[in-house]
Amino acid sequence: MRKLLALFILFFLLSGNITRAQKGDSLVIRKIFTEAITDTAAYHNLRYLCTQIGGRLCGSPQAEKAVLWSKATLVAMGLDSVWLQEVRVRHWERGKTEELAVSQGTSPAIRLHACALGGSVGTGKAGLKAKVVEVKDFDELKTIGRKNIEGKIVFFNHPPDPVHYNTFEAYGALSRYRVFGADNAAYYGAIGVIVRSATLSHDDFPHTGIMHYADTVPKIPAMAVSANDADKLDRLLKSKSGSDVLMKLSCIENPEAVSYNVIGEIRGAVSPEKIIAFGGHLDSWDTGQGAHDDGAGVVQSMEVLRIFRALNMKPACTIRAVLFMDEEMSQRGAKKYGEYARAQEEAFKNSRVAVDSMAGEVKPQLAGSHHVAAIEADRGGFTPSGFSIDASDGQISKIQGWKDLLLPYGLYSLVKGGSGVDIRELKSLGTALLALVPDSQRYFDCHHSANDMFGNVNMRELQLGSFAMAAMVYLIDINGL
């Protein structure tokens, strides 16, 4: 009976401690929210990045300006450390000529809204003029076969499936034709490829994005056509026979260039060797201003550091913003940071073994570092609903235990799932990976298009994302994983 009573008292005391800790966390989170929602620094930073620098394709002068600007902005915050991490990147240029036109007999050619896919080869000044074969998917392409495709232009017209609530699921089904369409068409002898834009919106904006070439087939020019004009091209091809399409592209692949990841941090007061990283990608496509993809994630990551500074919050662990370069083309910035993190992890493990072996002696400071958690913001600056978590079941359960602290601010979703391409290199280190998850319904209206403009970002929604990231960083720092 006395043992049972003792256990009850212990449970009561522990419950009281947990309640007091949560109340303390709640007060801090409220301060973080107030700072994030009342200060407009993130919005003004995004305005500068978008309107004064613009689209930032890796290797371009705009990307270089973005590196210098973001470094200077982080330095001005008075952080403990700001540095550049060199990375070599592709330097593909779109060129000035992007034409896609349909002609039928003696009627005037009909110009369509289209753009080159990222990494496409050019057509030469004369362009390519050929008949078009329209297909829905790779299976239909295979069924039609080389006999009916060779010497022609393939048009992948795969409409989006609107039944997915999470629009990223619909996007995934569409984007494979953008990424692998040219290779598949070239295998059957096609001389060019057109793909329906990977978007659920019906507009006149062609949506670009990376595509890949295999070494086993010829490299053929590739273009995206807007959703509206994909429907128009479909109607034209079905209404009359003898339709020809003219493609003209002047894009080129330049020699590789030197660029940088931009990194800024506040060093931990208790465990500086433990890193909580968060970031977005500094590069963007060149057709728009890169506002939602991923200027929003960049300024939100910078804002986490500003909020900690403004509230005079000294984290126990080192908190680090990483602004990645080259997410859109080859993810070399992510790979470079991953190499660095693995080297630091190895040094950390070796030094920990050395320290643990020195029983009864003064322990030296640990070398290297260990990434406890990493958060990626690369899904637009819309209203956040929570986080997707790629971690152990125990870590996920612990994060879900903070739901009551986050729910008053609309962060209701803390679920097992994916994270992001720039932080996935850290998974092998045992790092808990999270992705900020905003509402996705409008994201693909802007994604990879000329519609991705600063004016399409709502300040309050952007600030809510900054708050969500800062609050999660605080909770991981104070409670551990």
Task: List the 384-390 sheet strands across, edge first.
Answer: 81-93, 252-266, 317-324, 271-281, 370-376, 432-438, 384-390, 413-416
C-alpha distances in Å from residue 386, one per residue of 164, 316, 423: 19, 24, 18
Please report whether residue 83 resides in a domain: yes
For the segment 328-369, what is each residue's pLDDT rounded down to a tens digit?
999 999 999 999 999 999 999 888 766 566 555 555 567 899
Q: What is the pLDDT of residue 227?
A: 97
Please report whether residue 427 resides in a domain: yes
Structural domain span for residue 116: 95-250
- Whether 150 and 80 map to the same domain: the answer is no
| 86 within 8 A of 263, measured Cβ to Cβ | no
**3-state class of 135 per DSSP?**
strand
**3-state class of 383 per DSSP?**
coil
pLDDT-based confidence at residue 22 (cuts at 50, 70, 90): confident
pTM of the model: 0.92
CATH of the domain at 141: 3.50.30.30
- Whether 405 and 316 map to the same domain: the answer is yes
What is the sign, positive or negative, of the torsion defined by CA atoms of 304, 308, 310, 311?
positive
- Whether 86 and 104 map to the same domain: the answer is no
Q: What is the pLDDT of residue 9?
A: 42
| 167 within 8 A of 175, measured Cβ to Cβ | no
C-alpha of 145 from chain center:
36
Spatial separation of the C-alpha atoms in residues 182 and 159, rounded to whole Å = 18
CA angle in degrees (0–180, nearest 5) for 338-343-349: 120
- Is the pLDDT at 2 greater than 90? The verdict is no
- Whether 373 and 298 map to the same domain: the answer is yes
Spatial separation of the C-alpha atoms in residues 85 and 94, rounded to whole Å = 26
For the segment 75-123, what is each residue's pLDDT rounded down to a tens digit?
999 999 999 999 999 999 999 999 999 998 878 899 999 999 999 999 9
Percent of the chain with pLDDT strictly greater than 90: 87
pLDDT-based confidence at residue 13 (cuts at 50, 70, 90): very low
- Is the pLDDT at 323 greater than 50? The verdict is yes
Please report whether residue 103 resides in a domain: yes
- Whether 346 and 403 map to the same domain: the answer is yes
- Whether 149 and 206 map to the same domain: the answer is yes
Average pLDDT, stretch 166-182? 94
- Is the pLDDT at 463 greater than 80? The verdict is yes
Most confident of the following: 95-109, 261-275, 365-379: 261-275
- Whether 196 and 340 map to the same domain: the answer is no
